[in-house]
Structure 1
Amino acid sequence: MQFIVIEDFTGCDRKEIYRRFGERGRLKPDELAVHHSWIAADMSRCFLLVEADDVTLLQRWVIEWSDLVEFEIIPVATNKDMVAALASHL
């Protein structure tokens, strides 16, 4: 399943976030695939497209950053997949 993850750095120590990232990486389980990530121009948020078969992989990742970052995790589907899933109802 794919997810849009929004990491919110508002009110957080951004230097510490990037320091930790530089020293230790994303701190995510290997099974959690990050397909793309984008940083807002003002560095206040990061937007990621990730994929995982097990939601606990996301929870294990979030707990590594919970002292510095607020997370919003949104399950998503592609337009193509959604149209196929709804085809019998249209």
Structure 2
Amino acid sequence: MKHPLESLMSAGGILLLAFFSCLLLPAPSLGLELAQRLVTRFHLMDLNQLYTILFCLWFLLLGVIEYALIRFAWKRWFSLDRHD
């Protein structure tokens, strides 16, 4: 039987792992020319808004990747529900 808060814990786990990753891994750095082109293409106010969006996306992407890897490792090697 699954725990009723499992989906909430999964989302919280993704965010927590992403937070730890952002502390360890730097976000991608855009060149000034590319950043200015992206600002005009997406009709943003300035470079600060672009980098805020970039950091948020980077934060979530790292969390999802780490969550998927840890979940795979858990189910593959550490889970007690294995059917060998």
Please give the range of the TM-score, normalised by the shorter of the 2 chains.
Answer: under 0.3
Choose 1 or 2 for highest CA Rg.
2
Of Structure 1 and Structure 2, the greater helix share is in 2
Query: What TM-score comes out, normalization by structure 1 length?
Result: 0.26
Per residue, is there more strand in 1 or in 2? Answer: 1
The normalised TM-score by structure 2 is 0.27
